[in-house]
Amino acid sequence: MVPNHDASVQNGLDMSNARKQASTDVTNVKNFIYNGKQEWQRKERLVEIMSKDPAFDKRGREWMTRTEKYSRGLRMLNRMYDLEQSLGWRREDTAVATGLLDEALPISLHVTAFEPVFLLQASPELLNRYAALIANRGIFGCYMQTELGHGSNVASLETTATYIPETKEFEIHSPTLTSSKWWIGALGKTATHGVVQAKLILPGGEDMGPHLFFIQLRSLETHKLLPGITVGDIGPKAFSAYAATDNGFARFDHVRIPKEHMLSKFAQVADDGKYVKPPHAKISYGGMLYIRSHMVTNAGWITAKAAVISIRYATVRRQGTKGPDGLEKQVISYPSLHSRLLPILSRAYVFIGMGRTLSRAFQIMAQRLSSGDTSLLAELHAVTSGLKVLCTTASVQDMESARRSMGGHGYSAFNGIGRVYGDMVASVTYEGENFVLDQQAVRAALKAFHNLFGDDGKSRPSSSTIQNLPPSTYYLRLLANTPSSEPPILQDASNSSASSWNDPETLILLLEWRAALLVHELAQTVRDPDATIYQRVSKGTTEAFVGRRVGEMIGALRGNSELKKNDVVVLSKLYLLFLQTTVESALADFLSFSLLRIQNPSRVGASRDPTRGLRMAIARNCLELLPEAIGLTDALGFSDWELDSALGVYDGKVYQALWDKAQMEPLNEKEVPDAYEESIRPMLLRGQRMAQKLDRTKL
């Protein structure tokens, strides 16, 4: 039967009309979001090569077993490095190409965890011997920290590294079941080497706490495990996600490694077993900070995918009452839908920008760290803790909102978001569980508060102290001048046309006031905290930081010579939407701290809802951005091959794409499934017999 193509015609028309409506220059905005024409062209070139290479064909992956997905992943990696060599890719090319593989692969642990830690902390001798091998994947590494019974609390790790002065060796050992290294990416089947975190035990028996050691796991000749090492894959993940990564376990049975294999740039053991202290106790957090700053960028691009797919589908999907043209309405025209999708788009743009800012800050810190200067560590630690929580939480929530916005078809694997969600949702619990990180962010904020205002919170800091506040606690300046300073209370808050709701600086100040008052409140109640205060303070202080950065992004737009005036106007509105919806999501805080005034609080029901002004301003901003939605999603520059989504296809022909994909389902290979003879037929026959018996009884 030849399917009738009427739907595709209308789908295509809806999409091309939406493209015509958009007023931004897609090329300019694309160059802007990719941080320059060159970066965009790099990606475009790589997509061109890879999307045509059969090794990177995505068809059929929905039906693969875990083992097949793992094998496919390594096939892709091998092919990619083949291309790297034959086409002479630079390091940046390979990084972009790796991202294009669109799977969680073991290599990411080598590149983002193993290699940076090794480079940062290995001795010159070790670097000399292994750095080139690592950079070229002549050995494949993993980073063994987490244990079966031990996660965030690194101090309680059980694996031991006992120094044996007689042979100048360390003995790595797993004394208990719970000391088994667990969750280690690439360990299960792939890695040949690894960095293991273990308690350093000195010859006298003194426990020096966790340190890092470089260890070979498998033979480079046969890939078999070395003696004393038990390693395997820990099994499938929730949502069948991360299937191509072999997260593994490892147990060590008195395994000896040479003394030189301790990563000893900042802490060493002398031949005789004497411990030489590191200059900064938290030096080893450097690697984790790098991973976290990378996670912000990643959250941005992942959110971007969800925005593109859901906005495209909502543009061509029609449902509801019919208009004069006989067509149902495009669902994106419903406020309940576009008010969910456009803020997601705004977060994608903001997080991509934030990730860039953070990477720059990390590079500066890493340079200073390598020369022993740890001054930026605390600031970046505070910032990345809160940001990691904020961005990962928001991005998984946005992905799921975007998926649900697609209604029934959002539950098809072919929508492409569910798969990405499954991979991404791990980020809320790895690299610092979000609730634990909240507490770190809060601790940093409280420390800054008391540094400024003393133990009793009542001291007055000097104005130079205030002027030198770092970005992470810049909002605390607001508490310094009380009572003279006054927050920007919106006296006519319920009025949506109040220009304040459309003024970024007002919204940013509100976010900063909220952060300041939350920290102030916590400082007063810290001995008897309620159960959610840490989360609220972490979110509040991080949103103040992000809000200020978004203000800078808006400022920078005007100075960007690549963007046309109209592009600047539209992007400013998108950033404004980010600020507006950030404030909206925390209305309880703003109201309880009197930052939003209720005009006539003594009479219930008499006053107008003071939150209505903001909500209407959001609704209006969304309506203004609506015709720009497809332009702004196109500017994110995803090809159909990258999105791999039947609902997010560039041409909008979603129903044909769904139909075509369904025909590939293996269950459809046979008209009568194998289960028929085995189960269905016996079940039907039994039922027919029973029904007949009933009928006879009736007679």
Residues 183 to 242: which contact a copy of itself by CB under 8 A?
A: 183, 188-190, 192, 220, 222-225, 230, 232-242
The DSSP result for 538-600, as a single string, is HHHHHHHHHHHHHHHHHHHHHT-TTS-HHHHHHHHHHHHHHHHHHHHTTHHHHHHTTSB--SS
Q: Considering only residues 611 through 630, tell me which ones interact with a copy of itself, judged by CB under 8 A.
A: 611-612, 615-616, 618-619, 622
The minimum distance between CB 661 and a copy of itself, in angstroms, equals 6
268-269 and 275-276: which strand pairing? antiparallel
Closest to a copy of itself by CB, 56 vs 534, is 534
- Give the shortest CB-236-to-a copy of itself separation in angstroms: 4
> What distance in Å separates the CA atoms of residue 339 and residue 122, rounded to the nearest whole number?
50
384 vs 581 by CB, closer to a copy of itself: 581
Shortest distance in whole angstroms from residue 41 CB to a copy of itself? 26
Q: Residue count at the site for a copy of itself (CB under 8 A)?
A: 182
Asked if 181 touches a copy of itself (CB under 8 A), the answer is no
Instruction: State the CB neighbour count (10 A cutoff) for residue 277.
Output: 10
Stretch that binds a copy of itself, among 129-137, 163-171, 354-362, 545-553 (CB under 8 A): 129-137
Dmax (CA) for the chain in angstroms is: 100
Per CB under 8 A, the list member of 37, 58, 66, 168 interacting with a copy of itself is 66
Site string for a copy of itself, 5-44 (x = CB under 8 A): xxxx------------------------------------
**In the complex, minimum distance from the CB of residue 633 to a copy of itself, in angstroms, rounded to a whole number:** 20
Q: Please say whether the beta carbons of 610 and 591 come within 8 A.
A: yes
Q: Check residue 70 for interaction with a copy of itself (CB under 8 A).
A: yes
Residue 115's closest CA among 128, 134, 138?
134
Residue 293 C-beta: closest distance to a copy of itself, Å: 21
- Residue found under tokens 């101090």: 155
Please tell me whether residue 529 binds a copy of itself under the rule CB under 8 A. yes
Asked if 699 interacts with a copy of itself (CB under 8 A), we say no
CA distances from 376 to 247, 257, 274 (A): 33, 34, 30
Residue (272 or 672) nearer to a copy of itself, CB: 672
Considering only residues 661-690, where is the footprint of a copy of itself by CB under 8 A? 661-668, 671-676, 678-684, 686-690
Q: Judged by CB, which is closer to a copy of itself: 336, or 464?
A: 336
Contacts (CB under 8 A) with a copy of itself, residues 409-448: 410-415, 417-419, 421-422, 425-426, 428-430, 433-435, 438-439
Closest to a copy of itself by CB, 365 vs 444, is: 444
Q: Which is nearer to a copy of itself, 146 or 542 (CB)?
A: 146
Stretch that binds a copy of itself, among 26-34, 41-49, 130-138, 497-505 (CB under 8 A): 130-138
Catalytic residue status for 171: no
Closest CA to 228 of 216, 220, 214: 216
Task: Find the catalytic residue in 115, 147, 171, 431.
Answer: 431
* Peptide bond between residue 210 and the one before it cis (omega within 30 degrees of 0): no
Return the CA Rg of the chain: 29
Candidate list 71, 333, 560, 572; residue touching a copy of itself; CB under 8 A: 71
Dist CA 278 CA 667 (whole Å): 60
Among 569, 591, 650, 651, binds a copy of itself (CB under 8 A): 591
DSSP state of 4: P
| Among 36, 335, 372, 454, interactor with a copy of itself by CB under 8 A | 335
**Residue 146 annotated as binding site:** yes
Q: Which of 418, 362, 370 is nearest to 387 (CA)?
A: 362
DSSP 8-class letter at 438: H
SS (H, E, C) 78-127: HHHHHHHHHHCCCHHHHHHHHHHCCCCCCHHHHHHHHHHHHHHHCCHHHH
Among residues 277 and 681, whose Cβ is nearest to a copy of itself? 681
Among 51, 94, 152, 268, contact with a copy of itself (rule: CB under 8 A): 152
Site string for a copy of itself, 371-400 (x = CB under 8 A): ------------------------------
Q: Does 601 bind a copy of itself (CB under 8 A)?
A: yes
Residues in the chain: 699
Q: What DSSP assignment string belongs to 338-405? A: HHHHHHHHHHHHHHHHHHHHHHHHHHHHHHHHHTT--TTHHHHHHHHHHHHHHHHHHHHHHHHHHHHH
Check whether 185 is labelled as a binding-site residue: yes
Applying the rule CB under 8 A, the residues between 532 and 571 that interact with a copy of itself are 532-535
Which CB, 539 or 549, lies closer to a copy of itself? 539
Nearer to a copy of itself, 73 or 353 (CB): 73
**Range in contact with a copy of itself (rule: CB under 8 A) among 116-124, 202-210, 304-312, 585-593:** 585-593
Binder among 27, 37, 39, 74 for a copy of itself (CB under 8 A): 74
Q: How many Cα atoms are found within 13 Å in the side-chain-facing hemisphere of 605?
A: 0
Binder among 13, 177, 226, 364 for a copy of itself (CB under 8 A) = 177
Question: What is the rounded distance in angstroms from the CA atom of residue 403 to the CA atom of residue 415?
Answer: 8
Taking the C-alpha atoms of residue 441 and residue 437, their distance in angstroms, rounded to an integer, is: 6
Determine the interface stretch with a copy of itself among 93-101, 350-358, 481-489, 637-645 (rule: CB under 8 A).
481-489
Strand partners for 143: 195
> Least CB distance from residue 10 to a copy of itself, whole Å?
9
SS3 33: helix
Burial class (CB in 10 A: 0-12, 13-18, 19+), 468: exposed
Q: Catalytic residue positions? A: 431
Q: Would you list which residues are annotated within the binding site for FAD?
A: 146, 185
Q: Would you list which residues are annotated within the binding site?
A: 146, 185
